[in-house]
Amino acid sequence: MSQGIKKIVIAGGGTAGWMSAALLSKAFGATKEIVLVESDEIASVGVGEATVPPLQLFHEFLEVDERDFMRSVDATFKLGIAFENWREPGHTYMHAFGHFGKDSWHCRFFNYWLAAAKDKGSADFEKYCLEFVAAQQNKFNILPNRRVQYAYHLDAGKYAVYLRRYSEAHGVTRVEGKIDAVSLNQNNGHISALQLQSGQRVEGDLFIDCTGFRALLIEGALHTGYEDWSHWLPCDSAYAVQSDLPGEIPPYTRSIANHAGWQWRIPLQSRRGNGHVFSSAFTTDQAALDLMLDSLDAKPINEPRLIRFKTGARRKQWHKNCVALGLSSGFLEPLESTSIHLVQRNLMRLIQWFPAQGINAAEVDEFNRQAREDTEAIRDFIIMHYKVHNRRDSDFWRHCGDMDVPDDLSHRIKLFKSSAKVFKRSYELFGEESWIQVFLGQGLMPKSYHPFVDTIPRDVLYQTLSELETSIRQQVSEMPSHGEFLARYCRPQS
């Protein structure tokens, strides 16, 4: 039996590194020595400022106070993402986080709506979702029993600082320094230590690679390999800049498509994050920068930063005694705000599959299988935004509309188009209502609906839909504005 893991070394800080330190220290307490190595001279990418609802579960596990967290990281609430110009120029829809209507055991609510929409010509599916209606009116409230599904917009740099305080209070040791070399065990090829430029040597039993795109451990030392997905996700560059925050604070992210990519707008309490994700094959850096700056409606407060990336994933996210998290494990562009979620998922998985007596090949293989399923499911959901649309107005969109897609995604598209059927596998982040919203928003309307709907008298169906719509409008009318709620909820304690 091999020696148990006693010391965990995290290479790199930023969001991924300090999330790792926080969760591992909470899970294992004093039973494991946890060391994080980072250098103040190396800046994290840190442009991802939007999240998805499961981050609440991460915070519940850490037992952090939501109000304290939000004050510390300049956070606002997020009810969904508004997609502008994606189906076609001038069209907007929202991918909201909430539930829609009421399902029956026979079929999803969507089928009832679809029957009514076909009868009457058109109708807005979104109006049967509390979160969508609230976002549309800039309203927000926290209701009992998680009746409002929400995530956060946050300052990634401040979030790392917040998690660092938490981690150090739970026994994590931070070591300042740049990694100069990675030492390998000559017998089994495992990582034995990190050699710092200062001459310090940091030994460990399990290493977490959070070194970003550099992937110094998982790739630089272990040569794990990378699977390139840029043939499905052609954007390879992004500019990011912060600006003043004009007017109201909307409780949603904006994603605005253009001729060669898309722009994000993410509202925090005191500023806004802006960015432009684009394909260098279809536009120039200068044109992309000009478009982003020209579209700002507020003064920029820092210099724009250019980030290059290649969408894809490591062939193994756990290799030998190294687990890659965050950008070192791969990159899916931030269209659906999933980067932090993938860190969280793999951290939880690492704890669940943590090797009791040292590295076990069967456990590593299962970790990698599950991690790959998670990543590929999110990948396909993002690809769908580029594949399904009505745009033929630029080379970029013609290329995306004509490209082949993974077989599983192709199957989902055909299934929805023919029969309005969608499904969610147990491990997938995005549920059936997410697929429905984006399919509809991108312009895909099913040819038929579930036959059970036709057993219900149409006057009963219309009355039920009307009552649902009225109930949601009434609930939203009683909510405060997002700005008012934030000011009260995040007020510093006296």
The residues assigned a catalytic role are 78
Q: Tokens at residue 134, please?
A: 């609230």
d(CA 86, CA 256): 7
Residue by residue, what is the 3-state secondary structure of 203-269?
ECCEEEECCHHHCHHHHHHCCCCEEECCCCCCCCEEEEEEECCCCCCCCCEEEEEECCEEEEEEECC
Its sign, for the CA torsion 355, 356, 359, 363, is: negative
d(CA 420, CA 296): 39
E-state strands within 12-111: 33-38, 76-78, 80-84, 92-96
Task: Report DSSP state, residue 493.
Answer: P
Q: State the DSSP string of 362-414.
A: HHHHHHHHHHHHHHHHHHHHHHHHHHS----SSHHHHHHHHS---HHHHHHHH
Tell me how far the alpha carbon of residue 447 is from its chain's centroid.
31
Q: Tokens at residue 339, please?
A: 């980067």
d(CA 310, CA 237): 8
Burial letters for 407-420: b for 16+ Cβ neighbours within 10 Å, e otherwise? eebeebbeebbeeb
Residue with the two structure tokens 């994700």: 277
Torsion of CA 357, 427, 62, 24, to 10 degrees: 30
**For the chain, how big is the Rg over CA atoms in Å?**
23
- The amino acid that residue 44 corresponds to is S
